[in-house]
Amino acid sequence: MIHCGIDWAERTHDIALVDDAGALVAKRYITDDAAGYKLLLELLAEYGDTEESPIPVAIETSRGLLVAVLRTGKRKVFAINPLAAARYRDRHSVSRKKSDPGDALVLANILRTDMHAHRLLPQDSDLGRSIAVLARAQQGSLWNRQQLANQLRSLLREYYPAALDAFATWTNGLCRPEARELLKAAPTPTRAARLTRTQLQAALKRAGRKRGIEVEADRVRDVFRAEWAHQRPLVEDALGKQMLALLIQLEAACTAADQLAEAVEEAFPQHPDAEILLSFPGLGIQLAARILGEIGDDHTRFSDARGLKAYAGASPVTRASGKKSSITRRWVKNDRLNHAGYLWAFSSLRASAGANAHYRRRREHGDWHAAAQRNLLNRMIGQLYHCLQKQEHFDEQSAFPTPSLVVVAA
């Protein structure tokens, strides 16, 4: 049997084919374009690759056009973690030498010796993959938006604390359209103090506000005209220009987050597993789409619930050596899924009485807040695995059964 290893790079890829004895039977250097992909498929066909019996391939990435080409048909594609590949490299040489052709050979030998120990790329549907792309992009845009908002807040603290005080009562603060419109109208505290009631009301209307415009304009006007410390005029003007440049980036990030959220809301309900995910307490469309995007819709991907729990970072990990043993949180995990799971566990405390009671029991048992939430997520991930396998909706009574009352005879 022939095994293929591909050392992936940005512009070129090294290919290595080995037989069952570990002997190198072919190697090739291809470019990252259609011509290179065609050359790769021709090389595989030359050594026995067929549609019914394709040659398995190991590569250090799970994304990109090359992976998309390899995943056509029944081919087994293994995405090997680069850290794991580096450990395998030490089996053949302790000098720590490294080369791209050598890495391709290492990847091919990984399949030859330990194919059973590595996980295939899941056979997700096209809809599931598209939801994963949109959900990850929307999650990334929110992180980017928050990072820019933090930078803007830090800058305003240096010369414009009146703006922070005026926007403090608004949810999402600097990310709100009203805040951005007011900052564009008055980039410095000196100009903000000169804004009239009419100008403030016009800015709020441009931001899309419909109610309480007069009251809010008066409140903001009073804050802007209160006594505040000021930078020197030239320095204040320069900081105002810096703020406007940062505000343009924040505007773009807010627009991107909103547009991607709309795309997720349009695509996610079309998925067959959407109703099951949305039946769980604390899951809305955006959060459910993130979870589906990370676990995929290939229900054979995880052999049991423990695998999914470990993948999400919800289950603890045991480290034992000799007489010493410790149980700690899991650090190697899917960070995106773990982040979505943290939000899910937190929001479920209000949406589910059973989840809240479970969390309270863990706190009374001595867990800190994060540990109690992780324990709750561990339980709910197991319930999600069961529901997806059985194609059942979440049931509160089955998930968190009410303890039976013990009647003591007199």
Among residues 305, 312, 310, the alpha carbon closest in space to that of 388 is found at 305
pLDDT given for residue 403 in this prediction: 62
Instruction: Pick out the chain residues at pLDDT < 70.
Output: 95, 403-410
Among residues 198, 176, 197, the alpha carbon closest in space to that of 247 is found at 176
pLDDT given for residue 87 in this prediction: 85
Looking up tokens 């290179």, which residue turns up? 36
- Angstrom distances, CA of residue 23 to CA of 4, 17, 107, 202: 12, 8, 13, 76
* Structure token pair of residue 322: 């000799």
Looking up tokens 């343009």, which residue turns up? 248
What angle in degrees, to the nearest 10, is found between the helix axes of 369-390 and 305-312? 140
Dump pLDDT digits (tens) for 201-256: 999 999 999 999 999 999 999 999 999 999 999 999 999 999 999 999 999 999 99
| 77 φ, ψ (degrees, to nearest 5) | -115, 130
Tell me, rounded to whole angstroms, the distance of Cα 382 from its chain centroid.
Answer: 20
Instruction: Name the pTM for this structure.
Output: 0.85
Please state, in angstroms and rounded to a whole number, the distance separating the CA atoms of residues 2 and 120: 17
Looking up tokens 């803007």, which residue turns up? 152
Among residues 132, 87, 123, 125, the alpha carbon closest in space to that of 107 is found at 87
Residues 6+ apart with CB under 8 A from 70: 57, 59, 77
pLDDT given for residue 409 in this prediction: 41
Residues 6+ apart with CB under 8 A from 163: 156, 179, 182, 183, 189, 192
Secondary structure letter of residue 73 according to DSSP = T
Secondary structure letter of residue 271 according to DSSP = S
CATH code linked to domain 3-117: 3.30.420.40
Residues 6+ apart with CB under 8 A from 145: 175, 250, 253, 254, 256, 257
